[in-house]
Structure 1
Amino acid sequence: MLSFWVVATAITLMVAAILIRAVLRGAKREVESRAASDVAVYRAQLDEVDRDVARGVIAKADAERVHAEIARRLIAADKAQSAEHASTDRAPAYVAFAVITVAVLGSVISYWWLGAPGYGDMALKDRIAFAEEVRLSRPKQEVAEASLPPFADPIDIDPRYKELLTQLRSTVARRPDDVQGHVLLAQQERRIGNFIAAKEAQQRVLSLKGADVTAQDLADLGELQVISAGGYVSPEAEMSLRAALNKDPQNGPARYYLGLMLAQTGRPDQAFRIWDALLRAGPEDAVWIPPILEQIEELAQLAGVRYSIPAIGGTAERGPTAADVANAQDMTPAERMEMIGSMVEGLSERLGTEGGPATDWARLISSLGVLGESQRAAAIYANAIDVFADDKDALELINAAGRKAGVTD
């Protein structure tokens, strides 16, 4: 911190010296450009008159009259020059001092008010640790919900619809084990903006389904938890989202909200990778595309990435899919190479030049394992581990693909 103030003071003094010098030189030049130039001109005219007399160009009597007039003007100009020097000798110094004082004090006060005196910059390792601390200590779901205004029925709700909704609530209350009733209630409560009630109904759906709960069920609960907390991703919402991704790593809403959580907790780098992958995967009409487009450029700046919006959905069909790999297992080596060899090469080239989400890296590693290219799969696996070293979810995908390809235990 001391070094900061030393550098700041040195820069301030240098700027002050430059400003003072500029003000003083400017004043001096201004004086010389007026009265001093007049004095020089009149003296030159006197010399010219003397030369004309010597050459006999003008009569001596006329020369004396002209000489007297020029001398009168010279005396007036000399007095004006003296007056200007007297009035400007100290003014520039005062002006310079006032400007520098205001600038320095204004800068110090502004920094003290808007900046963070006493705090140094954080190393990347410390920032990551701080972000993890923020993530682990952030408020719970119930705290976030309690901070928001209580729900009130919309004033423009149709009376007939309101009556039907009241009947639905009553029916579900009488039949607490009716899965479809709770599904319908969650949908209708969400429709009128009663998100906490919708979340509670969705929680009941998951409880009733038990082992049959789907990734989308979990993602729907996570989304309702986020919305009912005013857009804040709580620890409980994160658990729902991660559970959804464990069942379906490609679930779009869960990936979007997990990226939002990372952005909220100081990891724009990880959030950017998730959202960029969602844009590239598409589809263009997915509900998470518009909010990503509104935020991803600013997120890229925070992540330190020079970024331009990619073609939405442009990588959705590039590279072998899981079905391609499964079908290739029943083919001869020649047939497998013919079917997915070109797709593997295309995927490998894209990841090497443009990068891509962890799912694409995992797909490439698995595909190379199927093709028997163990050494190449191992090299790409090692590269992927370096790329996603700070992303736990991505590392899980990469390690699973490595185990499948036989390049790691």
Structure 2
Amino acid sequence: MIWLLFLALAALALAPLGLTLLRPPRAKGRHDADLALYRAQLAELEREREAGRLDEPAFAAARTEVQRRLLAAPTQEASPRAGRGAATLAAGLFLIPALGLGLYIWHGAPDVPAAPYVERAAAAARDDALLDQLRARLAMTPPQSEGARQGWLLLGNAERARGRLDAAVEAFARVLVIRPDPGIAAELVELHIQRGDTNAASGLLVEALRQAPADPRLRYLSGLLEARAGRPQNARSVWQALLADSPADAPWRALLERELQGLP
């Protein structure tokens, strides 16, 4: 049944294309326009005769004249481009659904059951309950303890994974208050950039670089902020300096080279 449904949806999506192929071609060029005009004149003469406004001799003479003009109209060869276009459309009627089906069989996972909304809502409710429990435990934990730091770090990662960037920023900021850490500062700077708060990211980055000026991630983020602020020359200087200080096997060298190539 599922494959029949897919085929029905594909047929519905391609119906306008099929109608285009079946629809008579519109007049194109002088020749086709003349033919359409002469045929319309013949049809009009037939209606005039049936209505009694033309007698038989007058109708025959007028029809002969229109037919003479029709035969005298210059012929025109069919456009090969139009023929290729129709052939392409006809091939698309078959190739598009076939390609889609092939890609689904290749990369899809038809055996994986769908996740109904009810199940996803229940999973989200369970996650909310767990995070509420974590917040409740943090409220009873000494605020400057290592346990509080680990708890806020766990909460920040969970909130970021769920796309709740404001809550993640608050959690990572609490981690930094307990103990400064260049890695956590870099996480928080990235979150500020994702939220579009470049001012907060810049202020935090300046303080973090003062504490750890050689940290490669912080230096990369410094160049990223310069690029986002419309200062590509400053970004290039920061990234080139970082690239020069990076070991040959540093995993971030490829990223830096791509970023440098993308600068205007």
Give me the TM-score of the superposition, normalised by structure 2. 0.45
Decide which structure has the larger Cα Rg and report it.
1
Give me the TM-score of the superposition, normalised by structure 1. 0.30
